[in-house]
Structure 1
């Protein structure tokens, strides 16, 4: 169970936090290993994942790098973990490392201890460490994991860049139009209606949109997030819908191709790591299905795994699913024929990584002028609908 505690460190400072323990005595022992003296404790509910402090890729990169360096220097793994436990700043990660130390001291293997924390160490991480233990190449595996995690962090940053900039510009455009319709147009409505002339269709449409926004603005503001949340909840309960939504992401205009390349780059890098660590191809594909990040691609990988299991060639099986472009398929075929499939997959990852960077640069270059033109056209329509009746009236006065 989880306890909320107050403790004092060696400098006399009060520390507060939460920790998993079997009972109060177990909690006191765990805190003692962290150089903390227990003052008081009480049972507490575990915090939700976001509130508990998410452990990100940067913490995992530091974890792998530290253990790789200490192991390479001949320091036993348990001592490296103890040093890391005493130096890490992230409170939740510090608690996780302390539990790893206890579990290894209790007789578990490193990979078995990692598997007890699936929210922190995913199946790919655990499988690579298990393969490294079995082959005696744990140091190499940790070094490869650190590089892979840094690369994945860069990919995630690029994916956010692809999606966040269009969303930001669209929000700005919508906000400008909403301001004009809710503030400027209502002030001119009475004047436009008092000129006693037939209003154009554009003007009538503008007035109708303004009245709709003023009367139901709050509902219109709440409707999109409510619909989005409803779709997400439905997708969680309906695997077919979730699969369809992920397929639509890959087919989305402008960003769909880039998102597909991001997912495939992640898969190629992870598959290369697993294969080079000594895992069988079918096991490596099965692990990649759970961590690739897109259900449509995961389903395609499952079909590839079935075809390979039935005796099909690796490159030929990928070609049937049309996951990769011809150049990448040729690289896979060469890697399969020469026995350097891990090198081939690393080349595939590099190929997609380069393509993603270039695609993001192109998208950003196109979005800025496109959004400027769209905003200009919308403002032109609003101004023409507002000023048209005024110019007509001035013309009649002449």
Structure 2
């Protein structure tokens, strides 16, 4: 089904631009009319959805939560999607409303909800589509949607906490850099000019500061462009070479403090996703294949793939993961207990709970460590600048005979 770029207006005369799936111009006009829009102009724009199209995490959670609530209330899936498509002002949640309209169109054409979601890979992950398919087959779609919403909320909370860990040092680094740049390019040259005019001897550390100040003043643009260029070049190289990407992911996991938090967050998400799929009746091998795809680390992806291959050859789940040194002893013990008792989903839930608590404690410890370290770094930088500038000035003034 083709896509169209359109320009439309609402009842208040406000112009809206967007992209929508439709059979033809007339179908597009009818779809926009249901959204309270009047088509002004439309141009064909390919037959596939852009891979980069996404919904913000919280918008997706809200969309699935609304769908879950309506299905729990006994409202048919088509009616629920139609309500979500038509709800609210035309200028609000346009992406969500277009998504609901697209899903409804595909379902009315004979597709299942899972098949309709698969047409939006930038919005719905492989895990979500697999869970929805299992929910449709088992007749427990509302319950599965509730589990997906819970999992997405947890992932969003973990991501938010991890971002908080990075925001403070980045902010302090930016402040230190801005202050140091101002001192080095504006204040230091003036003070050193004053020092030269007094004829005093300039010590070595002050001459080094002056050389660095001159370098920053003349080539500040290169010092900004060089790290950005190196980062872009490394990113391009990593995308093209899986072996290099693997090494980079290994290095990230080996980083002090931060690497441990990242590894624990991956383990927590693995346990949460695997438990969700196992509880929904999805076969173990299929569930692990989905877990492999959603893992953010190539190191974990390959370890899960090797464990899955052993399980396919008849080994126990716990033994298959135990063969991978990447997975800690506690993770393996809980898997073994779950296998032995027949409550694997409960054991996985406990793993997720343990690592979630551990991540929160680790983030708090790292934040408590970062603050004094950053203060010391700032003090050393500013102290060196002040000592190199004010020390010679003080010596020169002290040597003047009254």
The interval holding the TM-score normalised by the smaller chain is over 0.9
* RMSD over aligned Cα atoms: 2.2
Contact 1:308 1:314 in 2 (8 A): yes
Residue 321 of structure 1 aligns to a residue whose secondary structure is coil
Residue 145 of structure 2 aligns to a residue whose secondary structure is helix
Kindly report which structure 2 residues correspond to 1:337-356, keeping only aligned pairs within 5 A, or say none: 337-356=340-359
Aligned match of 1:41 = 42
Structure 2 vs 1, CA of residues 217 and 6 (structure 1 numbering), >3 Å: closer, same or farther?
A: closer
Measure, in 2, the Cα distance between the counterparts of 1:199 and 1:243.
Answer: 50
Deviation of the 1:308 alpha carbon: 2.0
Structure 2, unmatched stretches of 5+, are none
Deviation of the 1:47 alpha carbon: 10
Give per-residue Cα distances to partners, 1:332-391, cap 9 Å, x unaligned.
211111111111111111111111111111111111111111111111111111122223
Contact 2:3 2:49 in 1 (8 A): no
Which of 99, 102, 124 is matched with 2:102 structurally?
A: 99
Structure 2 vs 1, CA of residues 30 and 49 (structure 1 numbering), >3 Å: closer, same or farther?
A: same
Deviation of the 1:56 alpha carbon: 1.6
Deviation of the 1:124 alpha carbon: 0.6
1:79 is aligned to 2:82: no
Measure, in 2, the Cα distance between the counterparts of 1:250 and 1:167.
Answer: 20
Aligned match of 2:69 = 69
Structure 2 vs 1, CA of residues 285 and 261 (structure 1 numbering), >3 Å: closer, same or farther?
A: same
Deviation of the 1:205 alpha carbon: 1.3
Deviation of the 1:134 alpha carbon: 1.5
Contact 2:29 2:39 in 1 (8 A): yes
Kindly report which structure 2 residues correspond to 1:245-324, keeping only aligned pairs within 5 A, or say none: 245-324=248-327
Structure 2 vs 1, CA of residues 198 and 14 (structure 1 numbering), >3 Å: closer, same or farther?
A: closer
Residue 153 of structure 1 aligns to a residue whose secondary structure is helix
Structure 2 vs 1, CA of residues 183 and 308 (structure 1 numbering), >3 Å: closer, same or farther?
A: same
Aligned match of 2:241 = 238
Structure 2 vs 1, CA of residues 254 and 175 (structure 1 numbering), >3 Å: closer, same or farther?
A: farther
Deviation of the 1:37 alpha carbon: 4.0
Aligned match of 1:147 = 150
Contact 1:4 1:16 in 2 (8 A): no
Residue 323 of structure 2 aligns to a residue whose secondary structure is helix
Aligned match of 1:334 = 337
Taking structure 1 as the reference length, the TM-score comes to 0.92
Taking structure 2 as the reference length, the TM-score comes to 0.92
Contact 2:34 2:86 in 1 (8 A): no
Aligned match of 1:166 = 169
Aligned match of 2:365 = 362
Contact 1:162 1:255 in 2 (8 A): no
Greater alpha carbon shift after TM alignment, 61-70 vs 368-377: 61-70
1:2 is aligned to 2:3: yes
Structure 2 vs 1, CA of residues 47 and 213 (structure 1 numbering), >3 Å: closer, same or farther?
A: farther
Aligned match of 1:120 = 123
Aligned match of 2:30 = 29
Give per-residue Cα distances to partners, 1:72-130, cap 9 Å, x unaligned.
22111111111111126321221121011111111111111111111111101100001
Measure, in 2, the Cα distance between the counterparts of 1:184 and 1:47.
Answer: 54
Measure, in 2, the Cα distance between the counterparts of 1:87 and 1:249.
Answer: 45
Kindly report which structure 2 residues correspond to 1:171-250, keeping only aligned pairs within 5 A, or say none: 171-250=174-253
Measure, in 1, the Cα distance between the counterparts of 2:235 and 2:39.
Answer: 43
Deviation of the 1:153 alpha carbon: 0.7
Greater alpha carbon shift after TM alignment, 308-317 vs 201-210: 308-317
Count of aligned residue pairs for this structure pair: 395
Measure, in 2, the Cα distance between the counterparts of 1:37 and 1:203.
Answer: 70
Residue 387 of structure 1 aligns to a residue whose secondary structure is helix
Which of 387, 390, 401 is matched with 1:387 structurally?
A: 390
Residue 4 of structure 1 aligns to a residue whose secondary structure is strand
Deviation of the 1:206 alpha carbon: 0.7
Contact 1:6 1:14 in 2 (8 A): no
Measure, in 1, the Cα distance between the counterparts of 2:82 and 2:60.
Answer: 16
